[in-house]
Amino acid sequence: MNEQPKKFKWVGTRTIRPDGVDKVTGRAMYGADLTLPGMLQGKVVRSPHAHAKIKSIDTSKAEALDGVKAVITADDMPQADPTPVAAGEAMINLRDLSDNVIARHKVLYEGQTVAAVAATTSDIADRAVALIEVEYEVLPHVIDVLAAMKDDAPVLHDDMFTGGVKPKPEVASNVANRVEFTLGDIEAGFAAADVVIEQDFTTEPVHQGYIEPHAVVADANPDGKVDIWCSSQGHFMVRTFVAGLLKIDMSKIKVTAAEIGGGFGGKTTVYLEPLAVLLSSKSGRPVRMVMSREEVFRASGPTSGAAMTIKMGATKDGKIVACDATLYMQAGAWPGSPVGPAAMTAFAPYDVDNVKVVGFDVVSNRQKVVAYRAPGAPISEYGVECVVDELASELGIDPLELRAKNAAKEGTQAAYGVKFGAIGMVETVAAAQATEHYKTPLGPNQGRGVASGFWFNIGGESCAGIRINEDGSVSLTEGSPDIGGSRASMAMMAAETLGVDYYKVKPSVVDTDATGYHFVTGGSRVTFATGMAVVKATNAAIDELRARAAKIWDVDVEGVVWEDGHAKPASSNVGDFDPMSVADLAAMANKTGGPISGHADINAKGAGPAFGTHICDVEVDPDTGHVTVLRYTAVQDVGRAIHPSYVEGQLQGGAAQGIGWALNEEYIYDENGKLENAGFLDYRVPVASDLPMIDTILIEIPNPTHPFGVRGVGEVPIIPPLAAVANAVAAATGVRFHALPMSPPAIVAKMAEKG
């Protein structure tokens, strides 16, 4: 790992996180940890059918049960407008969101909410749920993405006509949208290729798998004010959606971000929050709702499963000359798969003149997908990175060498149009090539795979406030829920900029009444965008501190500089004054104009694109089909690691999730469209004994638009593992697997086929 340049005192060090003690002692308050006086327990009635018309709902027996204080159905929700609203990964339609929160006329997947109850105890609420009688007319359903595209497939929405095609279709279908990206002339490109590889791949939907189930406490006051406490990746997102769905003024809604027990994109939307508000206002009491793990699997997440065809051509000296991809991606019950970003990222690690990517956003009778770490990119880049491996093998070129030869660099035009600035794809490949890991010999039934990955990273709205307290300590407020140590990086950037002790800065993630709008914690944006706001706010406070010193010294503010946490005369011409610390200036604040603060409210632009390259060694047991990951190295250009431990943690955690995606995780449905593995026993995420240590190499090519060079790190590390593992399994077995997950039964079946 690169050591930090000496010029930083805090940035690049491994500080103790400000929320750490709370989190190792059980004090930290997560979504389900708040209890209010008189609080009721809310529960949800869910559809047992994959696709059905709701003919009637009879709630009378439930309402008559002692202890039941409120029952709601879609009739209690205002009719939502079909307005596009920014969600985690794309724009979503409020009407679709409303139907996902509580079904109005039709259920589109097993587990969709049709009613909800609030009662004095969980037990009574469960009994009330069982007493609600819903009459359904069951309709034919479709689960698989390719099956959903067939002409005779059951159509989910009779008013949905494929967008992005001309002429506009006259018949409704399950294909919501078609996207296409082109660069150059792929026919000419393939004509110039000496080697062309074309293969089909499939991936299954996988769940984000956060350990904390969705949880909310809502308290609606008789005067129309609503307080919401919940676990989410954006309490402003919750406010936007609740206000839009329930038609309440935003000023009346206060959302407090509980500590969040993981999200990975899955908590960038609402499920329970509007229901809890409705139940609270109907009962006049606070209501807590918490999903069970089974509900999390059935009715939240996951990301898309997909089918795809990838075709790539190269000249015999290893120059990739043409790339073609077709992607079919599951959106779940309503449009909105991450097919756009999947199409844009597919070939982005490479400098290729001729590219065409076509993608389809396809609905089917499963829950609506929601963002999952670099939404879409792991899927498309999985297929591409497998084909790059096949090209390398066909050309007799080392797979990292082939990647190095074709790597995108500054000035490369990406297939989605943008010309890259300073990026680190070349450096991640070079660093991977230089590892001892890459050179270590392997044993029998073992194989090594490599793969690269790209994600844009994003900016967006963030705000920050810096208040200098009377004793010179610093209170820092911002509104990005801290999902993995961001309070620490915010305080470090503030301390570095101001020149004070990191442990004198106390960061707080404050509620929606106490700061301006923040986009969600997602897209690897918080350290970049909220960090930018923090630095800007700190600089505003420094300007004020300089102005105060100028008043005390009776000089012009231009005569005061800020260095190492102190106001100093800019030169000896200004006068002979002793430097004044933050505490000195704070002590004089009342005499020089009152409390000292700095604020910034920004929409951050210029997020730095990021690349990673991973190396994976596996051993495949030829009898059981079990794949053991023996060794793993993740290399990534992180721009600047503010807190290297938490950056390494992002790489390690992303790699682990990608390994789970590659080897075990999948949604399994029965013939009636019902999910069969809605629990951690059967939906198997990696456990400690499944994994080796995950070595990390942080490359730091600063992002020029961020004051410390931050790019954002959370998304990229989940992208390369799918193909790195697949390429390693191919190397170990001599067989290319075209479907994920490569679970033991799948491996045994394919090995038997090979004989």
Partner 1 sequence: MVKVVLTSGTATQYTDGETEVTVAAKNVRQMVTALEAKYPGLGTEINQSMSVAIDGTILPDPFLEEVTEESEIFVLPKIGGG
Partner 2 sequence: MAKHHITTTINGEEAEYLCEPQETLLDVLRDEVGLTGTKEGCSSGDCGACSVMLDGRLVCSCLVLGVEAQGKTVETIEGMADGEVLHPLQQKFLEEAALQCGYCTPGVLIAAKALLDINNDPTETEVRYWLAGNLCRCTGYDKIIRAVMDTAADMRGA
What is the contact surface with partner 1 in residues (CB under 8 A)?
A: 84, 86-91, 163-166, 177-182, 208, 263-266, 268, 340-341, 343-344, 358, 371-375, 416-421, 455-460, 520, 522-525, 603, 605-607, 705, 714-715
| HEC per residue, 437-474 | HHHCCCCCCEEEEEEEEEECCCCEEEEEEEEECCCCCE
3-state DSSP assignment of residue 329: strand
Residue 33 interacts with which of partner 1, partner 2, none, CB < 5 to 8 Å by class: partner 2
374 binds, among partner 1, partner 2, none (CB under 5 to 8 A by kind): partner 1
Q: Which residue has the tokens 């694109």?
A: 609
CB of 204 to partner 1, least distance (A): 17
Q: What is the rounded distance in angstroms from the CA atom of residue 206 to the CA atom of residue 683?
A: 9
- Rounded CA gap, 654 and 373, in Å? 8
| Residue 657 interacts with which of partner 2, partner 1, none, CB < 5 to 8 Å by class | partner 2
Smallest gap from Cβ 19 to partner 1, in A, equals 21
3-state SS of 495-563 is HHHHCCCHHHEEEEECCCCCCCCCCCCCCCCHHHHHHHHHHHHHHHHHHHHHHHHHHHHCCCHHHEEEE
CB of 19 to partner 2, least distance (A): 8
List the Cα angle 24/27/28 in 5-degree steps: 85
C-beta closer to partner 2: residue 668 or 687? 687
Task: Please state the closest distance from residue 656 (CB atom) to partner 2, in A.
Answer: 3
Decide whether 236 or 646 has the Cβ nearer to partner 2. 646
| Of the candidates 338, 328, 279, the residue with the CA atom closest to the CA atom of residue 303 | 338
| Phi, psi (rounded to 5 degrees) for 294 | -60, -40
608 vs 686, beta carbon nearer partner 2: 686
- Min dist CB 48 to partner 2, Å, is 20
Supply the minimum distance, in Å, between the C-beta of residue 13 and partner 1.
27
Report what 290 binds from partner 2, partner 1, none; CB cut-off 5-8 Å by kind. Answer: partner 2
30 binds, among partner 2, partner 1, none (CB under 5 to 8 A by kind): partner 2
Coil/strand/helix, residue 191:
helix
- Binding partner of residue 25 among partner 2, partner 1, none, CB cut-off 5 to 8 Å per kind: partner 2
A 10 A CB-CB count for 600 gives 22
CA separation for the pair 202, 543 (Å, rounded)? 56
Q: CB nearer to partner 2: give 527 or 538.
A: 527
Cβ–Cβ < 8 Å for 65, 127: yes
Shortest distance, position 658 Cβ to partner 2, whole Å: 10
What tokens appear for 211 in the block?
Answer: 């350990």
Q: Which of 27/409 has CB closer to partner 2?
A: 27
Strand order in the sheet with 175-183: 175-183, 355-363, 320-332, 306-314, 195-203
Q: Which does 178 bind (CB under 5 to 8 A by kind): partner 1, partner 2, none?
A: partner 1
Return the number of the residue (235 or 405) whose C-beta is nearest partner 2.
Answer: 235
Q: Are 368 and 100 in contact (CB under 8 A)?
A: yes
| Contacted entry of partner 1, partner 2, none for residue 210, CB cut-off 5 to 8 Å set by kind | partner 2
Q: Cα torsion at 48, 53, 56, 60 (round to 10°)?
A: 30
Q: In a 10 Å sphere around its CB, with 0-12 CB exposed, 13-18 middle and 19+ buried, how is residue 324 labelled?
A: buried
Closest distance of CB 443 from partner 2, Å: 18
Q: Which is nearer to partner 2, 25 or 56 (CB)?
A: 25
Cβ closest to partner 2, residue 234 vs residue 649? 649
**Contact partner, 459, from partner 2, partner 1, none, Cβ < 5-8 Å per class:** partner 1
Q: Which is nearer to partner 2, 43 or 643 (CB)?
A: 643
The neighbouring-strand residues paired with 311 are 198, 324
Of the pair 206, 362, the CB lying nearest partner 2 is at 206
What lies within 8 Å, CB to CB, of 93 at 6+ separation is 82, 83, 84, 85, 334, 335
Cβ distance to partner 1 smaller for residue 40 or 718: 718
Residue 60 binds which of partner 1, partner 2, none (CB < 5-8 A, kind-dependent): none
Which residues in this chain contact partner 2 in the complex, by CB under 8 A? 14, 16-17, 19-21, 23-30, 32-33, 35, 122-123, 208-213, 259-264, 290, 292-293, 483-485, 643, 645-646, 648-649, 652-657, 679-681, 685-691, 693-694
Q: Select from partner 1, partner 2, none the partner in contact with residue 652, using the beta carbon and a kind-dependent cut-off of 5 to 8 Å.
A: partner 2
User: DSSP readout, 35-90?
Assistant: --TT-EEEEEEE-SSSSEEEEEEE-HHHHHSTTEEEEEEGGGSPPPP--EEE-SSS
Supply the minimum distance, in Å, between the C-beta of residue 578 and partner 2. Answer: 37
* Among partner 2, partner 1, none, partner that 643 touches (CB below 5 to 8 angstroms by kind): partner 2
Residue 689 contacts which entry, partner 1, partner 2, none (Cβ below 5-8 A, type-dependent): partner 2
Omega into 167 within 30° of 0, i.e. cis? yes
The interface partner of residue 166, options being partner 1, partner 2, none and the CB cut-off 5 to 8 Å by kind, is partner 1
Q: In whole angstroms, give the CA distance from residue 154 to residue 59.
A: 30
**How near is the Cβ of 535 to partner 1 at its closest, in Å?**
19
Residue 269 binds what, of partner 1, partner 2, none (CB under 5 to 8 Å, by partner type)?
A: none
Q: How far is the CB of 655 from partner 1 (least distance, A)?
A: 15
The binder of 420, among partner 2, partner 1, none, by C-beta within 5 to 8 A per type, is: partner 1
Amino acid at residue number 658 = G
Smaller CB distance to partner 2: residue 414 or 647?
647
Total residue count of the chain as it appears in this document: 755
Q: What is the DSSP string of 117-170?
A: EEESSHHHHHHHHHH-EEEEEE-----SHHHHTSTTSPPS-TT---BS-SSPPS
**Residue 291 CB neighbours (<10 A):** 22
Minimum Å gap between C-beta 118 and partner 1 is 31
Q: Give residue for tokens 């603060």.
A: 597
Distance CA 566, CA 545 (A): 9
**What Rg value do the Cα atoms of the chain yield, rounded?**
27
| Minimal distance, residue 194 CB to partner 2, in Å | 40
Cβ proximity to partner 2, 219 vs 665, nearer residue: 665
Closer residue to partner 2 (CB): 485 or 565 = 485
* Shortest distance in whole angstroms from residue 581 CB to partner 2: 28
Give min distance, CB of 241 to partner 2, in A.
Answer: 22
Question: Helix (H, G, I), strand (E, B), or coil: what is residue 591?
Answer: helix
Q: Report d(CA 747, CA 293) in Å as an integer.
A: 29
Give the nearer residue to partner 2 in terms of CB position, either 36 or 250: 36
Q: How far is the CB of 73 from partner 1 (least distance, A)?
A: 31
Q: What minimum distance in Å lies between the beta carbon of 154 and partner 2?
A: 33
Q: If you ran DSSP here, which 8-state letter would residue 214 be given?
A: P
Which CB atom, from 117 or from 647, has the smaller least distance to partner 1?
647
Nearest to partner 2 of 18, 341 (CB atom): 18
Residue 517 site contact among partner 2, partner 1, none (CB < 5 to 8 Å, cut-off depends on kind): none
Looking at residue 32, the DSSP 8-state letter turns out to be: G
Which residues have C-beta within 8 Å of that of residue 422, sequence separation ≥ 6? 410, 608, 701, 702, 703, 704
